[in-house]
Structures are given as C-alpha cells and as structure tokens.
C-alpha cells in the first residue's frame, strides 16, 4: 500500500515496501543499536513525507536510549515536510530532553521543519538560548535564524545578549544570526 510520499513519487516497489516494513519493525528491537540504525536509515530522502515513517520516528523520541532519540530527531528533520505540526510539537518536547545531544539535534531538526514565524518553535528555541550546553545554544541560534521573523525586536534583543556568551562559537553564531534577522 503506497504512502503519501510514495504515491507522489509513483509508488514503492515491492522490494521498497519490504525494506520499509523491515526498518519499521527494527524500531521495536530490543537492541538499541538496531533501533538507532533503523532511525538513521529512515532519515533517507526516499522516506520524505512518509507519514507511516514519521509517526514511528516520533514514537522513538521517547526511547529510553539517548542515541535512538538523537537519531529519531535527526531523521525527522530530514523526512518531515516543512510546517508539519505533529513533528514540530514532538520536537518542541524533545528539545527539553535530559541529554544535551538530543536537545542539540532536536533544535537543528526544528530549524529544518518549522516555518518562519512558527508559533511553537520560536519560544522553544528561545528557551534553549540559556541551555547549560554551548552546542545546544549554538543549534538553537542557528535554528532561530531559519524560523524567527526578521525584525522581531524581542528575538533580536535576546540574540544580542548571546553576543556576550561565554563560548566563542556561540557568540560567532549569534552575530551571524543577528545580521540575518535584523531589518534591512
């Protein structure tokens, strides 16, 4: 049975259906490496917009293994359609994960999926500007550069504060994003 994306692309081959089904089944494996690898593989362009895959990846954001959650977030950034509210909502939750790498990858994915001005994404990303991990702060800044409205005074003030961040790479990105979002 073709999915939303496979119908648009002319339908899966029988072999493609079998591979997709096997990967989705691997997401339930007891082996976290198998689940993580399945998540990574499902992030391939062939699965872009496939609602069955996206739903399964969203479920893996709750996995007990941090590497599985990280791989699921990364793959969602690759396969979800821009503006997909279910994915945005799931990523807004996973951006609060206990693991910094999951928060970082979730921020990146949010920047890929959310559209400019996304109501849920912008506040979630702004909240990560004070994350204890510099990589998360940098990822949130980069994502804000893609989703915050240009000229938004509140966002610009918070970005300006990040130009004094304790991490040089965070300050650098803050300056870049400020230049991108400032009114011309």
Residue 97: phi and psi, rounded to 5, are -55, 155
Output the CA–CA distances (angstroms, integers) from residue 52 to 59, 97, 183, in the order listed. Answer: 11, 24, 40
DSSP state of 115: P
Residues in the chain, total = 184
* Residue reference for tokens 């849920």: 120
Nearest to 118 by CA among 92, 79, 138: 92
Give the pLDDT confidence score for residue 12 in this predicted structure: 57
Residue 19's Cβ-count burial label (10 Å; 0-12, 13-18, 19+) is middle
* Residue from 159, 181, 183 nearest 170 by CA: 159
pLDDT exceeds cutoff 50 at 164: yes
Q: How confident is the model at residue 6 (pLDDT cuts 50, 70, 90)?
A: very low
Share of the chain above pLDDT 70, in %: 91
Residue 17 has pLDDT above 90, yes or no: no
Res 184: pLDDT: 53
- pTM beyond 0.75, yes or no: yes
What is the chain's Cα-based Rg? Answer: 17
């Amino acid at each position: 049975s073709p999915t939303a994306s496979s119908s648009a692309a002319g339908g899966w081959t029988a072999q493609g259906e079998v591979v997709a089904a096997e990967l989705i089944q691997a997401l339930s494996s007891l082996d976290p490496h198998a689940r993580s690898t399945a998540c990574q593989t499902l992030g391939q362009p062939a699965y872009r917009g496939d609602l069955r895959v996206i739903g399964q990846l969203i479920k893996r954001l709750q996995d007990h293994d941090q590497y599985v959650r990280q791989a699921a977030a990364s793959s969602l950034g690759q396969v979800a359609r821009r503006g997909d509210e279910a994915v945005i909502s799931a990523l807004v939750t996973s951006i609060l994960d206990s693991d910094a790498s999951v928060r970082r990858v979730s921020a990146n994915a949010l920047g890929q999926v959310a559209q400019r001005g996304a109501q849920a994404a912008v506040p979630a990303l702004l909240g990560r500007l004070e994350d204890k991990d510099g990589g998360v702060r940098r990822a949130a800044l980069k994502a804000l550069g893609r989703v915050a409205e240009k000229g938004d005074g509140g966002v610009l003030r918070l970005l300006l504060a990040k130009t004094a961040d304790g991490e040089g790479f965070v300050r650098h990105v803050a300056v870049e994003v400020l230049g991108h979002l400032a009114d011309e």
